[in-house]
Structure 1
C-alpha cells in the first residue's frame, strides 16, 4: 500500500498500524462518527481553476491521466478503476490476479502499457506490466517490496524505490525483468523516481539532508543535484509535465515524518528554472499525487483531496 516505506523497525510498526487503519471499514477511518469522502480534482496551471471531477464516499487514491487525455486511472480497495475526464461512473479495470494493487501505477509514454504494484498474498509489493486496456499482468521484479514510479521514455526501463537490506533506494530494471540496477546508495529513504520526457534526468525525493527534498540525477545515478531547499517543507513525489517545463510535487510541513494520509498539505509548482510556488492547499497527503498525473497538454494535473463528513 506504500504508506510510508519504512526505514527503521519503529516505522515498520507505524506502517502496520496505518495498514490496519486502511483495512477497517471506511466509516471508522479518522473518527467513528464520520465518513471519508474522496474528491478527484484537476488544477489548471494557466487559469488557477480547481475542478472536482468525481466525489465519492470511500477511499480513492493516486490518479493517472491517460496519455490520450480521455480518462483517469485510480486505485481503490486493491483494484484499479477508470473514469472519463469529463466525469461519470468509474469502471473497474481488468487486472487479472492482481487484486491487491497499491497506489504506485502508471502508463508508459506511448500509452500502450501500464505498470502496477501488487502484493501477492503473504508477500510484499512487486511490480508488474500489463496492457493499458486491461489483461493479465506480467511480473517484472522478483524481489519485494518494490513500488513502481517511472517509465523511461523509450519504454524499455522502469525505475522504482525498493527496500533491500533495510534501506530504501532507487533501482532500475528492464521492462522484461532481469537484473535490477541500484541507482542510489545514500543512507536514508529515497523515493518517487520519475524520468523527464527527454530521458536526461530522473527526479526523486530523498531524506539524505535530514528533511525530505527533491533531487535529480542522470539515468545511471550520476550527477545528483538538489532541486528544493525551503526549510519550511518536506517535499515528495516530483512529477514532470509532458512538455518538460513544469514540475508539481507534494509538500508537508517539515516536521511531518514519512508521507502519511489526512494532513494539511500543499501542491507546489515550479518551472525547470524557477522557484516553487504553492498552487493548491488541501487535506490529503498519501494518495493525493503519488504518481504521474499531468494532462497531455501540460496545462492541468489531477490529484485527490479528502474530507471527513459527520454522519447525521
Structure 2
C-alpha cells in the first residue's frame, strides 16, 4: 500500500504530491489557516503540516478506531470525528483541534460525520435509520436529530454550501447514484447529476462556485477503494460536469471536505496500483 497525498490547483490544472507513505492514509481536510491537512490512517488522526510534511499524531484519547469521516469546525478550533471504539458502531465525537478528550455528540448509532454548517451551529452526517442510510443533522452541542432525507435507497456524504442554504449529498434511487441537494430550511431534494456514473461525496467550494466529487465507473456498488475513478467539478447551480483528472483511488480519496480556504486548490489521496 502506497498512499499519495496530493494537491490540485484549479488555475493551472497542475497536481503536486506533497506526501508519500507506505501506510494507508485517507480523507484530507484543509485547515482554515491554510497551513496543514488533517488525515486519518490505521484508526488514528494526524496533522500533516505543508511546510514540512510529516504525520503528527493528534491525541484522540481512548478512541483508536477512527474511520475516514472527520473534519474541522469553521473557526478551526474543533474537530469532528467518527469512531467505533466504545460501542462497536461508528459514533460522532468532537474535540479540540489540538487533541484531548473527545465528547460524544449523542446521535443514534451508527452515525458518520460529513459536514459542519458554516456558522458552526450544526453537524450533518449519514446514519442508518430503520435499515436505510439517511442524511441527518443535529446541533453541534448535541440535541434532537433531524432526518432530512426520505424516499432514497441509500444516502451519504452530506456537505453544506458556504452560504448555509443547502446540503449536498449523494443519493441512490432506482439503481442510480447521483448528487442531490436539499434546502437546509426544509423542502424537496433537487437532483444535480444524471448520468451513468456512480457519483459520491460532493464538496461545495468555499467561494460557492463549484462542487467537487468523485465519480466511480458505472455499475460500482458502494464506494470501494482501489478503483479507477474520476474527480469531477460541477457548477454550484448545476450543469455539465468537468473531469479534472483520473486516478486510482475511491474510498479515502475525498470522503470529507478537502478545499483550501481560498477555493483555489483541493487536497486528495490516490494510491499506487498493487
- State whether structure 2 residue 233 is matched by structure 1 residue 260: no
User: Any conservation in 1 of the 2:107–2:145 contact (CA below 8 Å)?
Assistant: no
The answer for the alignment partner of 1:242 in structure 2 is 206
Give distance in 2, aligned partners of 1:271 and 1:226. 13
* Alignment root-mean-square deviation, CA: 1.2
User: Any conservation in 2 of the 1:123–1:144 contact (CA below 8 Å)?
Assistant: no
Between 79-88 and 62-71, the greater mean CA deviation after superposition: 79-88
Q: How do 1:283-302 residues align onto structure 2 when only pairs under 5 Å count?
A: 283-302=248-267
Deviation at 1:73, TM superposition (A): 0.5
The answer for the alignment partner of 2:233 in structure 1 is 269
User: Any conservation in 1 of the 2:37–2:49 contact (CA below 8 Å)?
Assistant: yes
- In structure 2, which of residues 108, 113, 117 is the aligned counterpart of residue 143 of structure 1? 108
**By percentage of residues, which structure has more strand?**
2
Aligned residues: 273
The DSSP-based 3-state class of the residue aligned with 2:64 is coil
Deviation at 1:78, TM superposition (A): 0.6
User: Any conservation in 2 of the 1:240–1:248 contact (CA below 8 Å)?
Assistant: yes
The answer for the alignment partner of 2:88 in structure 1 is 123
**By percentage of residues, which structure has more helix?**
1
Q: How do 1:151-300 residues align onto structure 2 when only pairs under 5 Å count?
A: 151-231=116-196, 233-273=197-237, 274-300=239-265
The answer for the alignment partner of 1:70 in structure 2 is 35
Q: What are the superposed Cα offsets for residues 264-309 of structure 1, whole Å, 9 maximum, x if unpaired?
A: 0000012224421110100000000000000011010000000145
- Name stretches of at least 5 consecutive residues in structure 1 with no aligned partner: 1-35
Q: What are the superposed Cα offsets for residues 209-266 of structure 1, whole Å, 9 maximum, x if unpaired?
A: 42110000011441311101122x1100000111111110000012111000000000
Following superposition, which runs of at least 4 residues in structure 1 exceed 3 angstroms of deviation? Answer: none
Give distance in 1, aligned partners of 2:25 and 2:16. 16
Give distance in 1, aligned partners of 2:107 and 2:260. 32
User: Any conservation in 2 of the 1:53–1:87 contact (CA below 8 Å)?
Assistant: no
Between 69-78 and 142-151, the greater mean CA deviation after superposition: 142-151
The DSSP-based 3-state class of the residue aligned with 1:147 is strand
Deviation at 1:112, TM superposition (A): 1.4
Give distance in 2, aligned partners of 1:306 and 1:138. 33
